Amino acid sequence: MADGGDLLRMISDRKKRKVHFRESQVWRVLIETVYGLRAMHELSVMHRDIKSANIFLFRNSDVSTRQADGGNLYQAKLGDMNVSKVTNQNGLNYTQTGTPYYASPEVWKDEPYGYKSDIWSLGCVIYEMLSLKPPFSGRDMDHLYKRVCKGVFPRIPDHYSNDIWAIV
């Protein structure tokens, strides 16, 4: 079991307390999740449901890696592989799966999609860590569909660097 819980729980807690993540924490989750996705993609497996609830956090007990402020560092691990799928020969999938807030425009449009859809979803997760809310929202599914397909979302809070904004 993930002793640090999942990323959704941590985001929800921070949202209630109105406390943003340190940028170094966001980078760490991003990098560790990218490593996990790379390993999966090298095996021709797409996760297909990257979201904050499927990124599990484990406390790092190594004292030498603690934050300067004494806080715990967490290791991020991908979980919930229920809808993961080995891709076909051309690296594309066609079945719509995943969670609407994190789904790529290709998935929304019922078009073939590939590994980039996992990366899109990770971008949505990183945005959520930075702003404490998903990048896209809508009053109903049709409105959400239009916003995702347009790909326009508010800027992250100003206290974050342009580097992390460029990654998002």
- Residue 29 and residue 56: Cα distance in Å, rounded? 10
DSSP 8-class letter at 113 = B
Q: Phi and psi dihedrals of 107, rounded to 5? A: -65, -45
Tell me the residue ranges of DSSP E strands in the chain.
45-46, 55-59, 74-78, 85-86
From the list 3, 13, 49, 158, the catalytic residue is 49
CB 136 within 8 A of CB 148: yes
| The token pair that represents 140 in the structure block | 């109903």
Active site residue 49: yes
* 14: nearest Cα among 131, 125, 101: 131
Q: Provide the annotated active-site residues.
A: 49
